[in-house]
Copies of this chain bind each other. A is one copy, B any other.
Amino acid sequence: MKINLEDYLESKKKIVDAALEGCLSGLSSVPTTLVESVRYSVFAGGKRLRPILCLASAEAVGGDPGAALPAACALEMIHTYSLIHDDLPAMDDDDYRRGKPTNHKVFGEGLAILAGDALLTEAFHLLSEKERFKGVPADRVLRVIREIARAAGPFGMVGGQVVDIQSEGRTVGEETLYFIHSRKTGALITASVRSGAILGDATEAQTHALSQYGRDLGLAFQVADDILNVEGSREVLGKETGSDTRRRKATFPAVVGLETSRRKARELAAHAVVHLEDFDGKAEPLRAIARYMVERKS
């Protein structure tokens, strides 16, 4: 089975965007400026990679992607919160994201912090609404909450960001680089794939294989991102390029060089696909996503 990845990503993005719109339109008794600040960043034109991985993973194990949709939305809300907080002056101090001024540039720092807090909390609120999960048993919904919370918290994303900001301007080795990237980006990407698998009623062996896929994919994604920060175009990326170098951020090109980084990204993407060899054609989107990951221009 060959798929047209562009069409696939586009159709899934529409489903995710509509579901996010549904989640966020329920915020009617919430202060208007908070809703505006939250919506500004959620609908700033993200690729919806994490939610799409979650849905594609449910499909790959023969599950109903509809049952994974609430988790897909929660993952995007958590990803968006992390971008808002990362961009703050006290962290990466970024003025642009996806071609638009960052949240705190538009709404002020206080509201940006609160918009992030709101998105993170609302993600778990969404995950607790069992009736959204199309009959998935409560035990399994709890397992998904656990996966996502662990990946997003001090053991995962938040822990990675701490080491990232502490490493700025310092020379770090490959080990620290892996620590940062596997937690800051890798953990939530792996959790996206695993959540989809769990909600799609995967076997333990399938969930394990998809975790391995997620781990390699997450790292491939980050290496590719680091490369794009060096040689990508500002117009296509919608944010400053070269910023990692100026800030002496811990990146793959900085630590192992650009050529080795390119090879590394290709190897990781190829390796990710190998973990899916026991899956049938339903895993084709996941395979195509892995290949796309290292060829993308934004």
Contacts and interface: CB of A to CB of B under 8 A. Distances in A.
Interface of A: 27, 29-31, 33-35, 38, 85, 88, 90-91, 108-114, 116-118, 120-122, 124-125, 127-130, 137-139, 141-143, 145-146, 149-150, 152-155, 158-159, 161-163, 165-166
A150 B38 CA distance: 16
Contact of A154 (B112, B113, B118): B118
A78 to B, nearest CB: 8
Q: Which 4 A-B pairs have the closest CB atoms?
A: A121-B153, A90-B109, A125-B149, A138-B138
A117 B114 contact: no
Contacts of A165: 110-111, 114
Given A33-B166, A111-B162, A162-B114, A130 B121 contact: no
A125 B154 CA distance: 10
Given A108-B90, A113-B85, A113-B90, A149 B122 contact: yes
A121 B158 contact: yes
Given A29-B155, A139-B130, A142-B128, A120 B122 contact: no
A145 B153 CA distance: 16
Nearest to A88: B113
B138 A142 contact: yes
Contacts of A27: 154-155
Contacts of A163: 31
29 contacts: A27-B155, A29-B155, A31-B159, A31-B166, A34-B158, A35-B154, A38-B154, A88-B110, A90-B109, A110-B165, A114-B158, A114-B161, A114-B165, A117-B120, A118-B154, A121-B149, A121-B152, A121-B154, A121-B158, A122-B154, A124-B124, A124-B145, A124-B149, A125-B153, A128-B143, A130-B142, A138-B138, A138-B142, A145-B145
